[in-house]
Amino acid sequence: MKRLIVAAALAALTLGVAQAQQPNTIEAHIAAAKAAAGFDFTGTLARICIAPQTAPGADVTPPPPPARATWYTEPAKVFDNLYFVGTKFHSSWALTGSEGIILIDTLYDYASEEAIVGGLKKLGLDPASVKYVIISHAHGDHVGGAKLMQDRGSRIVMGGPDWEAIEKSVNQFPAGKPKRDIVAIDGERITLGENAVTLVLTPGHTPGTVSMIFQVKDNGAPLTVAYSGGTAFNFVNDVPHFDTYISSQRKMAAAAATAGATVLMSNHSEFDNAVTKVRLVAARRTGEPHPFEIGREAVGRYFKVMEECAAAARLRLQS
């Protein structure tokens, strides 16, 4: 037994030394990202470490909506006070409380009416009680329903540079743009009744990307969620942009650790397996852990995947 403990301690020491001496090469960063991803975050690893790097999309009119069957999925209660009203690919979350709902992200415009407004109704919630809508960033797959919710009376919270991007866009909002409302401030808490969402500005994916920390309840027990606001590398691919992205992931990892986050969420199912986990919640038996609760260590590894893939991508620019 003693020998085993010594061997484990030596292995840990060796690992520590290996990490400290990790060379600054593309291969080493990808290996570190793979190790951090494990089997938990394969989607994120594949998208930003394996798939080719990309550039910003052009300011063009969106294509016609895809068939409903390709994106529609049933809304669902996931925690005592958090409901999924997203699609098969993108997430929209309703945080409910005594004073109303804080909605996080709004999908593509074609999905927002049925998935969000219709989804809330289907779950017995009142769409008119959505007081705040927080948009992680102003790409079409998350900001699409912002105008709809603003027209229905919700206040819209978004990063300043992303409000500017909407204002500058010529072609991306053929059905109209949401009007500038609340500009997200770093560390600000959007509070409504007993709920509070802390905004963590994490520029990188877009200049105004907002990540979040908030609490949910699971059978009465509070759990802290770290919500990652933007992931893929479809921004201007140069060293300063990757440096910004990397420092934002470190910042969010620290914020998540300080808050004791044990739940990781993103705005694409590709990254956090939201749709699969929503199904697992429905199949959960009494006493089983919540499918979204992965623990502090795993939440930390998520942001490590993002950081290491970005470090590899940054080096690729110079190779």
Distance separating the N- and C-terminal Cα atoms of the chain: 48
Q: Which is nearer to Zn ion, 96 or 266 (CB)?
A: 266
Site for Zn ion in 120-139 (CB under 5 A): 139
Shortest distance in whole angstroms from residue 53 CB to Zn ion: 14
| In the complex, residue closest to Zn ion by CB | 139
d(CA 26, CA 173): 38
Q: Which is nearer to Zn ion, 139 or 251 (CB)?
A: 139
Q: Which is nearer to Zn ion, 139 or 147 (CB)?
A: 139
How many of the chain's residues bind Zn ion (CB under 5 A)?
A: 1
Tokens standing for residue 244: 């910004």
d(CA 263, CA 215): 9
Q: How far is CA 19 from CA 31, 36, 41, 92, in A?
A: 11, 12, 20, 37
Shortest distance in whole angstroms from residue 231 CB to Zn ion: 7
Site for Zn ion in 215-244 (CB under 5 A): none
Task: Show the site string, 263-292: x = touches Zn ion by CB under 5 A, - = not.
Answer: ------------------------------
Task: Show the site string, 137-166: x = touches Zn ion by CB under 5 A, - = not.
Answer: --x---------------------------
Residue 221 parent element (H or E): strand 221-227
Shortest distance in whole angstroms from residue 22 CB to Zn ion: 29
Shortest distance in whole angstroms from residue 108 CB to Zn ion: 12
Tokens standing for residue 99: 């004073």
Q: How far is CA 116 from the centre of its chain?
A: 17
Nearest CA-CA partner of 143 in 184, 114, 172, 102: 172
Shortest distance in whole angstroms from residue 159 CB to Zn ion: 12
Q: Which is nearer to Zn ion, 231 or 262 (CB)?
A: 231
Mention every residue, 6+ apart, whose C-beta is less than 8 A from residue 32.
Answer: 22, 304, 308
Q: Which is nearer to Zn ion, 192 or 212 (CB)?
A: 212
Instruction: Give the angle subtended at the CA of 271 by the CAs of 246 and 225, to the nearest 5°.
Output: 80
b/e per residue, 77-108, with b = 16+ CB within 10 A?
Answer: bbbebbbbbbbebbbbbbbbbeebbbbbbbbb
Name the pairing type of β-strands 76-79 and 195-201. Answer: unpaired
Q: Which is nearer to Zn ion, 204 or 291 (CB)?
A: 204
Sign of the torsion formed by the C-alpha atoms of 118, 124, 127 and 130: negative
Shortest distance in whole angstroms from residue 270 CB to Zn ion: 12
Shortest distance in whole angstroms from residue 233 CB to Zn ion: 10
Shortest distance in whole angstroms from residue 136 CB to Zn ion: 8
Q: Which is nearer to Zn ion, 139 or 301 (CB)?
A: 139
Q: How far is CA 47 from CA 163, 208, 292, in A?
A: 26, 21, 21
Task: Show the site string, 9-48: x = touches Zn ion by CB under 5 A, - = not.
Answer: ----------------------------------------
Q: Which is nearer to Zn ion, 139 or 314 (CB)?
A: 139
Shortest distance in whole angstroms from residue 142 CB to Zn ion: 7
Q: Which is nearer to Zn ion, 47 or 139 (CB)?
A: 139
Residues interacting with Zn ion, by CB under 5 A? Answer: 139
